[in-house]
Amino acid sequence: MAELPVPGDNRRVAGMFGRVAGCYDLLNHLLSAGLDIAWRRAMVRALLAPGLPPGPILDLAAGTLDVSIAIARRSDRPILAADVCEPMLRAGLGKLDTALGRRIHPTVADGRVLPLPDASVAGATIAFGIRNIRPRPEALAELARVIRPGGRLAILEFGTGKRRMWGGLYNFYLRNILPRIGKLISGDDEAYRYLAATISEFPEESVLAEEMRQAGFASVDYRAMAGGIVFLHAGVKK
């Protein structure tokens, strides 16, 4: 597995996710009632829509490689699976058979300083990770740098927790239930309180769309899933 230095301000995030890597998939499925699988598949379909230029794919914030594997099952392109947290990537290695292992290349890397030349990938995905890379404009600018003109960026992320949803039930779940379930299963109090906090602080979907445009993406669109709990954004590199 390739590894690059991780800047100090991302070490805390990497450490938190590293501590829950062993139960990360279980908690994803449990806390989303299994909907996370359909959400990721929708993102992969958006990325691989007709018109994508030739070349490899970047899966940023690849975690335990679920998105990379979903891409590999729909396309024969090489995939760079980049994440700041090495234990998460290692937890995903056990999912790779020989064929997938030849095409998916896990790499420890910071999303603001990607180990890629300019215009080197046909497209990129980032699932539930853009809110963890700060400042976001740096990450979006770096993605725009490495994606080829006409290439596509697909972002899957929670909607803002500032909006009252489902009569406030979702907001209550986010603040009170999610951290408790996360702690019960993972034994880690900090990681899932951090998750709830970053969702609550995340901006509205229109703000993220505008940030994508400012970074150099055109035809930016987004759609809500699960009533606005999650949004799928997609744009094309100018």
Give residue 184's Cα distance to chain centre.
Answer: 24
Q: Are 111 and 60 in contact (CB under 8 A)?
A: yes
Tens digit of pLDDT for each residue in 93-115? 999 998 899 999 999 999 999 99
Structure tokens at 68: 């990379």
Per-residue pLDDT for 189 more than 90? no
Task: Find, among 146, 143, 118, the residue nearest to 130 by Cα.
Answer: 143
Residues above pLDDT 90, as percent of the chain:
64
The predicted model gives 164-187 an average pLDDT of 77
Tens digit of pLDDT for each residue in 56-82? 999 999 999 999 999 999 999 999 999
Q: Are 211 and 135 in contact (CB under 8 A)?
A: no
Q: What is the pLDDT of residue 9?
A: 57
How far is the C-alpha of 179 from the C-alpha of 193, rounded, in Å? 5
Residues above pLDDT 70, as percent of the chain:
95
Per-residue pLDDT for 6 more than 50? no
pLDDT band at residue 232 using 50, 70 and 90 as cut-offs: very high
Q: Is the pTM of this model over 0.85?
A: yes
Q: Is pLDDT larger for residue 28 or for residue 140?
A: 140
How far is the C-alpha of 215 from the C-alpha of 144, rounded, in Å? 6
CA angle, residues 17, 210, 124, in degrees to nearest 5: 50
The predicted model gives 226-230 an average pLDDT of 90
The predicted model gives 166-181 an average pLDDT of 78
